[in-house]
Structure 1
Amino acid sequence: MSAVTTTVHELATVDRAKVTGVLRAPGGARTVVTIMHPRQDVTHHAMVPHLLEAGHAVWTQGSRSPNNDLNLLHEQAIVDFAAGHAFLRDQGFERVVSLGHSGGATLAAFYCEQASLPPGERLVATPSGRAVALAEAVMPLPDGIVFMAPHPGQGALLERVIDPSVTNEGDPLSVDPSLDPFSPANGFVPAPASSSYDVEFVARYRAAQTARIRRIDAVARAHVEATAAAADAYDTAHDVADRRAALVPRVIPVHRTDADLRNVDLSLDPNERPYGSLFGRRPDLGNYGLPGFGRLSTAEAWMSTWSVTTTRADFLRNAPAVTVPSMLVEFTGDQASFPADIAAMSDALGSDDLTVTSVAGTHFGGSVRKGEPTGSELAAAQIRTWLDERS
């Protein structure tokens, strides 16, 4: 591998936000692979050294609020994504390829959906009504996309993992015993043995998960409407009390979001995944702890990112607009994306140049079995071949 030059950059987006990125470039690199996730800092993503070793430059970028998704608006995140792509086009690389891992995959698909439209046809507002500058943004399409361990989108994912047995959104310990995923009466057995839920319970549980999302949707809508009413009142009367009411962040806590039945019943949508969730080996305990998706968000972020009802960042919704050469990499031990998801994503992607492959690995690129190569190592070998074939 040639010597790698590393530079750090702060970019201004079209709506005057600041985003940062790190560009690592081996001498003579003609292709740059860009890695971005809407919620996480990917500076030290596991794929970086593998791509550099293959002679490709790597751009790792954050959104305007990395590691803080309290007010994560996906429409703003793709404005951030656009700033990085425009920057890379100006660096003189022959090819810019996006690598979207996990939630970064849906972000990349959402970006492509909007970038493929004429500026006047792009979204002008978030689901809550906040104006977004997509029409003004320079949005170059990537020359190719690698979707690695893609999950279906933050909203669709939350619907899968939210605990529907919560009966009181103000009480994290409230529970409806008939829906409790960790009750032996419903099929749960203590870890690490796999639980066994019957078909009737699974159907009732999933319907109740959707119903809980809808109840939180109603809270979010009420918050957004209250904020808008206060802003309108201020515009009319210029009363400072209305201005304050319009500025108050209306935050929604969501308890217990580590309760996907598939994480403890390995017979559901089977693959090679280990027992446990993305957050730990004991979902029956972790579900009551701090980690989890969508645990605290503004009403606007709920509507843009976490509600499957209102978010526009949904892989299957965005995928038909992805027409650039694409690679879909499944991890056979994934705890968040399952074989049926990969099949549906493959069918939905609009690219005529689509490669679908699978490697042994867990969602974040770990090994399925002790002593075996990591998923990241196996995926890197296949991604390198795919990139070389299109150089």
Structure 2
Amino acid sequence: MSAERSVPNREPTTPKGVSPRFVGLTTPPKQRAPSGQHTCQGLYWTQDGKPSPKVAFIATHYNVDFSEHYLSGHLAAHGFGFLGWNTRYRGLEDLFILEPALDDIAVGCRWLKEVAGVQKLILLGNSGGGSLMAAYHAKSREVDSYPRADAFVFLSAHTGRPEVLRDWLDPAVIDENDPVKTDPSLDMYNPANGPPYSPEFIKRYRAAQVQRHNRLDEWVKKELKRLNAAGIPDRIFPIHRTMADLRFVDASIEPSDRPVPSCYFGDPAEANRGIGLAGRSSSLLTWLSLWSMQDSKFQFKTFAAQWKVPSIVIQGKADVGVFTSNAGNIFNSLETEDKEVHLIPGGHYFDDSKETFDEMLHLILNWVEKRFPSSKA
């Protein structure tokens, strides 16, 4: 998920001796916009004055700008290329549609192969980008024009956008048009309910989350049908109170090293009352493509059977939004025989300390170098 914190624990750094190259490309049949921008853009990070890397990473997110990804310079400093790549939907998650985004990722992968001279391609599925890059990998098995990856790194990755929104939705919302109206019996921020939460409350709460998600899904389909009958193709709608996972405040639910109460916006109660993080607004078509449990293809279980490449799953035990079960579910679903899972110290960005960041970085480096020992620059 696009976890945005106002102040990181440690500000991301760029090692000396590396620099980025701007890459702007169009995705046919799209052309450059009249104002000048390409369909998709990014930065390709490499070592200064060294031969072109033979192994490169590419990382993309639904919404967040990954061109200056916190790993870009560090992986480049060790001789790898790193393309922080943005699709046409950067900053436009409320309009996101899967198929064009996958075409945009394919354009970036093709550039790495045909222009940058990369021989081995590694997909980095980070945070919400985990399911997006997994969707690309699955599609590349079916479409010959999509360059195929040689390995996959899951880093603090969710299993899918629909599951994230379902698990974060506040089921106490009574009226989708009024963020104030609340069912106190389902309000996780009502002290009478906890924390800690009883098994009965947890069961009832999670069932109500599914019910709210299903109600939204039913409304979207009816509203789209109504608008289309009037010649209107789509519309935007808000989704209120989307920071309400019980795990944000109750450490006894799926215990880990995470601090509680906490979420990516700090205090969960305040975040839930504010402008949300996940799915705070969406077009009807984007809901069906990105958020719907019934219609979205962004659920890892739909990709796992096609998984044949070496893969590593890395998860920080202090992450406040991606939990250890996510890593376990991804790992257990992978069909490849060459797979590893590592639960290590650190939060979502491993910015807790230099030691936690370095452990994560060297875990990736060692894993990749064992599989592609002669392909570095």
Judge same fold: TM > 0.5, yes or no: yes
TM-score, structure 2 normalization: 0.88
2:82 aligned with 1:68 = no
Unaligned ranges ≥5, structure 1: 120-137, 188-194, 231-241
Matching residue within 28, 35, 43 for 1:14: 28
Task: Using the TM superposition, give the Cα deviation of residue 390 of structure 1 relative to its aligned residue in structure 2, in angstroms.
Answer: 1.4
Q: Which residue of 1 aligns with 2:204?
A: 204
Task: Using the TM superposition, give the Cα deviation of residue 2 of structure 1 relative to its aligned residue in structure 2, in angstroms.
Answer: 9.3
Task: Using the TM superposition, give the Cα deviation of residue 359 of structure 1 relative to its aligned residue in structure 2, in angstroms.
Answer: 1.8
The residue identity in structure 2 corresponding to 1:44 is: E
Q: Which residue of 2 aligns with 1:169?
A: 176
**Which piece of structure 1 moves more, 249-258 or 172-181?**
249-258
Inter-partner Cα distance in structure 2 for 1:171 and 1:3: 53
Asked whether the 8 Å contact 2:97–2:285 carries over to 1, the reply is yes
Q: Secondary structure at the match of 2:345?
A: strand
Q: Secondary structure at the match of 1:269?
A: coil
When residues 2 and 158 of structure 1 are mapped into structure 2, their CA distance, relative to the original with a 3 A threshold, is closer
Q: Deviations over 1:50-106 (max 9, x none)?
A: 201211111111110212211111232212111111111102112111111011111
The residue identity in structure 2 corresponding to 1:388 is: E
Asked whether the 8 Å contact 1:146–1:328 carries over to 2, the reply is yes
The residue identity in structure 1 corresponding to 2:314 is: V
Q: Which residue of 2 aligns with 1:117?
A: 142
The residue identity in structure 2 corresponding to 1:55 is: G
Inter-partner Cα distance in structure 1 for 2:336 and 2:82: 24
Mapping of residues 105-144 of structure 1, within 5 Å: 105-118=130-143, 138-144=145-151
Aligned positions, number: 347
Matching residue within 146, 153, 158 for 1:146: 153
Asked whether the 8 Å contact 2:324–2:343 carries over to 1, the reply is no
Matching residue within 333, 339, 348 for 1:348: 333
What RMSD over aligned residues (CA atoms) do the two structures have, in Å? 1.8
2:245 aligned with 1:284 = no
Mapping of residues 303-322 of structure 1, within 5 Å: 303-322=288-307
2:209 aligned with 1:224 = no
When residues 166 and 5 of structure 1 are mapped into structure 2, their CA distance, relative to the original with a 3 A threshold, is closer
Asked whether the 8 Å contact 1:275–1:281 carries over to 2, the reply is no
Asked whether the 8 Å contact 1:2–1:55 carries over to 2, the reply is no
Asked whether the 8 Å contact 1:156–1:308 carries over to 2, the reply is yes
Task: Using the TM superposition, give the Cα deviation of residue 3 of structure 1 relative to its aligned residue in structure 2, in angstroms.
Answer: 4.7
Asked whether the 8 Å contact 1:155–1:308 carries over to 2, the reply is yes
Give structure 1 regions of 4+ aligned residues with deviation exceeding 6 angstroms: none
Inter-partner Cα distance in structure 2 for 1:114 and 1:299: 24
TM-score, structure 1 normalization: 0.85
Q: Deviations over 1:369-391 (max 9, x none)?
A: xxx43543321111010111112
Matching residue within 79, 88, 106 for 1:82: 106
Q: Which residue of 1 aligns with 2:359?
A: 378
When residues 105 and 374 of structure 1 are mapped into structure 2, their CA distance, relative to the original with a 3 A threshold, is farther
Inter-partner Cα distance in structure 2 for 1:357 and 1:25: 27
2:38 aligned with 1:24 = no
**Which piece of structure 1 moves more, 344-353 or 218-227?**
218-227
Task: Using the TM superposition, give the Cα deviation of residue 118 of structure 1 relative to its aligned residue in structure 2, in angstroms.
Answer: 4.9
Asked whether the 8 Å contact 2:46–2:77 carries over to 1, the reply is no
2:280 aligned with 1:295 = yes
Q: Secondary structure at the match of 1:147?
A: strand
Task: Using the TM superposition, give the Cα deviation of residue 300 of structure 1 relative to its aligned residue in structure 2, in angstroms.
Answer: 0.6
Asked whether the 8 Å contact 1:30–1:93 carries over to 2, the reply is yes
**Which piece of structure 1 moves more, 50-59 or 74-83?**
74-83
Q: Secondary structure at the match of 1:66?
A: coil
Q: Which residue of 2 aligns with 1:93?
A: 118
The residue identity in structure 1 corresponding to 2:281 is: L
Task: Using the TM superposition, give the Cα deviation of residue 277 of structure 1 relative to its aligned residue in structure 2, in angstroms.
Answer: 4.1
Asked whether the 8 Å contact 1:335–1:362 carries over to 2, the reply is yes
Task: Using the TM superposition, give the Cα deviation of residue 15 of structure 1 relative to its aligned residue in structure 2, in angstroms.
Answer: 4.3
Q: Which residue of 1 aligns with 2:375?
A: none
Q: Secondary structure at the match of 2:221?
A: helix
Task: Using the TM superposition, give the Cα deviation of residue 364 of structure 1 relative to its aligned residue in structure 2, in angstroms.
Answer: 2.5
The residue identity in structure 2 corresponding to 1:206 is: R
When residues 111 and 171 of structure 1 are mapped into structure 2, their CA distance, relative to the original with a 3 A threshold, is same
When residues 160 and 2 of structure 1 are mapped into structure 2, their CA distance, relative to the original with a 3 A threshold, is closer
The residue identity in structure 2 corresponding to 1:215 is: R
Unaligned ranges ≥5, structure 2: 1-14, 32-38, 373-377
Q: Secondary structure at the match of 1:186?
A: coil
The residue identity in structure 1 corresponding to 2:305 is: P
The residue identity in structure 2 corresponding to 1:384 is: L
Asked whether the 8 Å contact 1:71–1:298 carries over to 2, the reply is yes
When residues 69 and 375 of structure 1 are mapped into structure 2, their CA distance, relative to the original with a 3 A threshold, is farther
The residue identity in structure 2 corresponding to 1:387 is: V
The residue identity in structure 2 corresponding to 1:171 is: D
